[in-house]
Amino acid sequence: MRITVCLIDNRPEPWIRELRKALPDAQIDAWAPGAPQADHAVVWTPPQQMLDEQPRLQGIFNIGAGVDALLKLRLPREAKLVRIDDGGMAVQMAEFVCHALIRHFRELDCYAEAAREGEWTYRRPRERADFAVGIMGMGVLGQRVAKAVQQFEFPVNGWSRTSRPVAGVRGFSGNEQLGEFLAASRVLVCLLPLTPDTRGILNKNTLAQLQSGAYLINVARGGHLVEEDLIALLDAGQLSGATLDVFQTEPLPPEHPFWRHPRITVTPHGSARTLRDETVAQIAHKIRAMQRGEPIAGVVDAARGY
Ligand code: NDP
Ligand code: OXD
């Protein structure tokens, strides 16, 4: 079995070293133009040339959860496209979202500002019942985030494409229930995949349906947010702030207004990083299962877009 590794923006050597340990019988090498035909590929944003030169791939293993970049490419017809399921990202996402939520709810930025002035002042306690958290996308990451948020006793709403009953979460599904979901939420967390149906879903019409003074946490993809609409809603006082981990253009250009907006917190697409050991173990497990002809989890449905 031959595996080719093509990781743009990542050094392939440590991945190859770990993959060789996990799959000692396989021939595993970094992809370069003209590389021999492989059975499987381990990829992150590969060039079209790589896929065109590897028409007999059986599995294309993305080292992340989101496959939006891959689905823009022409893929070998028979290959299964496989995403990472959790792989250590879900707990990171849960801690990141809880941190942003609690920082907003407990007004920790106001305390930090007061401390800089040497002021000993209290903020009035706020009712957590007034801060319902709406999670868009109740998949692997959304469900883990919901569980963590529930631990802090915030009301939780979940929105998905199909109905996903989760204990303690008020569930909404489909476009017909989007308005109701938004109207019931004050803190909005986006954990949707980027697909033709979800591109631009965070816009002036949807964000304006949130409860007054709403807060946005976008940890999914920059393409979900219409960036100028967010700035207009913040400046009009309709939204109270946002934590953004993902952007239309990454890295976020130095002149972008998000960097300097007083109510926007920017992080560099790091809310949940791919962990190499977990990811390699998951990919090796799935490749072995495929060799035995067994079904595997995390196969992307290209027509659905995730
Ligand atoms: P999953 O595929 O497990 O879950 C996706 C969820 O979104 C599902 O609940 C699905 O509904 C729902 N969904 C999809 N399309 C729609 C739609 N049109 N309307 C309503 N709901 C919809 O994905 P993950 O939880 O693993 O990951 C989510 C995204 O998070 C990734 O695609 C990626 O873009 C992003 N991500 C960001 C990271 C970062 O560092 N910032 C790190 C990792 C991931 P249903 O349940 O009905 O199928
Ligand atoms: C992912 C990401 O999709 O890191 O896994 O954004």
Q: Is the CB of 158 under 6 A from ligand 1?
A: no
- The CB of 193 under 6 Å from ligand 2? The reply is no
Q: Which residues are catalytic?
A: 221, 269
| DSSP-derived secondary structure letter, 21 | H
What stretch of H or E contains 290? helix 276-291
SS (H, E, C) 249-277: CCCCCCCCHHHHCCCEEECCCCCCCCCHH
pLDDT on residue 9:
87
Ligand 2 in contact with 241 (CB < 6 A)?
no
Tracing tokens 């009035």 back to the chain, one arrives at 124
pLDDT of residue 238: 96
Cβ atoms of 43 and 62 within 8 Å: the answer is yes
Residue type, 264: I
Q: Are 234 and 215 in contact (CB under 8 A)?
A: no
- How many distinct helices (H) and strands (E) make up the chain? 9, 12
Report if pTM > 0.85: yes
As a whole number of angstroms, the longest Cα–Cα distance in the chain is 67
Ligand 1: residue of 85, 164, 191 to mutate (most ligand atoms within 8 A of CB) is 191
Give the SS3 label for residue 44: strand
Question: Looking at residue 197, what is its pLDDT?
Answer: 98
Whether the CA torsion 197, 199, 200, 202 is positive or negative: it is positive
Q: What is the mean pLDDT of each run of 10 residues along the chain (306 residues)?
A: 95 97 98 97 98 98 97 96 97 98 98 97 96 98 98 98 97 98 98 98 98 98 98 97 98 98 98 97 98 97 96
| Residue linked to tokens 């079995």 | 1
Sheet containing 40-44: give its strands across.
27-30, 2-7, 40-44, 59-62, 80-82
Instruction: Tell whether ligand 2 has an atom less than 6 A from the beta carbon of residue 93.
Output: no
CB 207 within 8 A of CB 230: yes
Give the residue, by CA position, lying nearest to ligand 1 atom 4.
Answer: 139
Q: Which residues pair with 81 in a beta bridge?
A: 60
**Residue 198 C-alpha to ligand 1 middle, in angstroms?**
10
